[in-house]
Chain A
């Protein structure tokens, strides 16, 4: 195996070469943008309300009905279509795997009236796993979490959710690690796979549920497949990134010792990338949990079901307890995987405490676990989790609290809601959605050109044409408007907190754990408290979107500003700049790449959330999708809405990426950052 080095980068200036041509001084992109906006408003004044292509919530077009028919035809031909047969057999395999595990630990395994391993055994095994992979503190956390699942009355839903998450993560590892190795070691594989990953990650989670139901049916199989699709990209990406980041000198040095391809992979690349790969595993687990929760929409088993039921009737009390348990589970999984990686690191470096103490602990724990499993198989009371009323009383307490809150502060929250809705949201919506479609089309395209250049313009035209074709133009504009408004608010938060965190280490240390926690919580859960505050409305969905998107955006901005070289800042200070000048003239311009990236992420997160917000009165595309789930005759409309959401996402993604690429000062760094998302961890 010969290793090849890429040719050394050509030196920027060859000796004796002519000085570079002076660059065309470019006008700030904001000036033409404002001009376009002004023209748009002028034309809008004369044409508003014409050709808006509005489609009432329950009506459908021929295209939508054709899509529904297409689905019906596919379903009718299920037994002869080879693709459907293939997906159905996968679905069957997944379903039986899930059911087998359920019979092992949650559902009665006929002829037994109880599962093979009762609750005591399950708690014991889980605790023991915590002890083995991490330490006794994690074991206690795991035990406490599991007990809380039962005590609050959601034992079965919790374990179902864990089963779906577990199977998906297992499959993700089996598929993702080899793919990660491939894209990490082969430039060509990377070029082939990356666009797919981009696309998968641009797509709001909610959207691929509809086609998945078509091919994999509803229930556990659809839940596992959608969870897998969502959880796979981060693992592949981060694993590939970790392998590619292995120091080229080390690879070269070990190559020069005459190693084979497999020796290089096994002894050099994988061990050196291990830490990164474990971070990827952590991300994948949390992503899987959040998607497995959402899979309640396709009748996937788990804690998402009671949350969804509560949200459907806008009952915060019902949704609160399972929502809180989802958070408990997320924290448990996050802490366990993180502690496991830290422990692995320590052991690899010869640490990890007294071996004999630990061995004793493991043997004792193992015996206790076996005894617990035996007992749980023997006594019914240890097999079925006893019923407590804690969950119900917590739910009603929350309901009461919400009622009290609404009656006491209702005025204040209403005021905020009305202010933002009337002053901000409605005005921009009037412009976007009440413009004739051709006007909005042209205006958005021109803005895409101003910010993203030619390539972004082409993508934008294609996406807008697609949106127009699927007959949901008006709804798309409303959703786009909500997304843009929420993103603006996210970016205001991100700039304020990001700069503050970057400039003050104590603030960073204080806020970052909150942000990390925010990122571990599945998005679905955010809807609950926001719903309690504001009731069902567009504003609720936007607020949930902001809460969901802000942590990632704030962290990206903070890290970007912090990455500004201290030398540059020092040099600036030596010229006597004020703090404000330092922020606006040095730190923010140099962190522009990160800020654009944060905007990109903010848009996609918010879009994903405004769609889920269809449940809590956001209307527009999100509602169309939910409606499509609920009514079989509206399936086609739901699919059209889903595709429209994807098109919106791709359009926003392309424009912001192009805007980032057009900046010549941030180099490849920001583009690389596009490939690894959601940095989680302590401040650097």
Chain B
């Protein structure tokens, strides 16, 4: 179990007076609105548990008010949880003392914020070096390190600028650099690209994908944008009113929405871009030809389309050497066309 990068067990956050008395009482089962009516307390996060594997990009998705920002802040106790357990780096964050917590924030995690949170009175280089500075790293050393990171995020030549001289996208690169400068085990992103315009957002998403490939850090990523979640996430957690609705890989979420809420969410997604053959394959019909080309089970439907059209025989869907099923042109067309109709 301890090889998980992050383990969250039965995490609760209730805002308001007497919040800790609610958990475990029958009131805890009330809906958010009813609880507010009855006790004046507001549920932020309700009994949430999940694991994140090392090197995984774990996306938490939900609409505003779903509790996702509260959730990520509790991971480093920027907001104190009401109850629960957060295991990270072999210790329980919830029980950590002030100095342990400070140590965790200084060395283990770093966070990127939606509105950047840069220091306007400091140059880019000193913003990036801030984490090292509070840790007590000497000026020369921290600036050298910060300089490396500034180059890594593509801000070379802007190290002497002030934040207000940079565009939004560049400011967020500074935020990203500041997070990376600590060389943390885990990066936390709180809707980092929501304030950016679409083209810049795409660039930044690609930047995150590149950095993840190069550095292999564990990431917890908050977003309200499903496309972003599908693009970046190894797994996605969908949150509503502080409760987990579904956890799964992008194709699981699209193919098997847990309820109408999620279904509504994913209805606009171009399914052929997300679903893998796993979700469209079927058992071969009696007498069907098994001469067709073979593709791995995690191939995206869209990528399989060309092969299917070119081949007269159904595609064999393989997991290693075992054949799991087949998929023909018609099966694939059904996915592509169905979404055009909706």
Contact = CB atoms under 8 A, between A and B. Distances in A.
B279 interface: no
**Which of B101, B116, B117 counts the most chain A CB atoms within 10 A?**
B117
A349 interface: yes
Interface residues of A, number: 34
A271 to B, nearest CB: 5
A252 B117 contact: yes
Interface stretch (B4-12, B53-61, B131-139, B298-306): B131-139
A7 B77 contact: no
Contacts of B36: 10, 14
A271 B78 contact: no
B293 interface: no
A17 B33 contact: yes
Contacts of B120: 250, 272
A259 interface: yes
A256 interface: yes
A259 B134 contact: yes
A253 B162 contact: no
A7 B117 contact: no
A185 B120 CA distance: 20
B154 interface: no
B182 interface: yes
Nearest to A263: B134
Contacts of B33: 14, 16-17
Contact of B117 (A4, A250, A263, A267): A250
B90 interface: no
A522 to B, nearest CB: 34
Interface in B191-230: none
Interface in B87-120: 98, 101-107, 109-111, 113-120
Nearest to A274: B121
A260 interface: yes
Nearest to B69: A8
B15 interface: yes
Given A3-B78, A7-B44, A256 B119 contact: no
Given A10-B42, A258-B105, A258-B135, A2 B77 contact: yes
Interface residues of B, number: 46
Contact of A250 (B102, B118, B133): B118
B106 A2 contact: no
A356 interface: no
Nearest to B136: A263
Contacts of A5: 73, 78-79
B80 interface: yes
Contacts of A1: 98, 102
Interface in B154-168: 160, 162
B175 interface: yes
A2 B162 contact: no
B47 to A, nearest CB: 18
B121 A247 contact: no
A39 interface: no
Contacts of B182: 257
Contact of A2 (B101, B117, B160): B101
Interface string B253-296: 00000000000000000000000000000000000000000000
B44 A255 contact: no
Contacts of B32: 14
A272 B130 contact: no
A271 B121 contact: yes
Given A7-B42, A253-B113, A257-B182, A267 B133 contact: yes
B98 A258 contact: no
Interface in A1-40: 1-5, 7-8, 10-11, 14, 16-17
Contacts of B115: 247, 249
A571 interface: no
Contact of B119 (A11, A14, A254, A349): A254
Given A2-B80, A254-B117, A257-B131, 8 more contacts: A2-B77, A2-B101, A10-B42, A251-B117, A257-B110, A257-B134, A258-B102, A260-B102
25 contacts: A1-B98, A2-B80, A2-B101, A4-B79, A7-B42, A7-B44, A8-B44, A10-B36, A14-B33, A247-B117, A249-B113, A249-B115, A251-B117, A252-B73, A253-B116, A253-B178, A254-B130, A254-B134, A256-B78, A256-B105, A258-B105, A259-B134, A260-B134, A267-B134, A272-B120
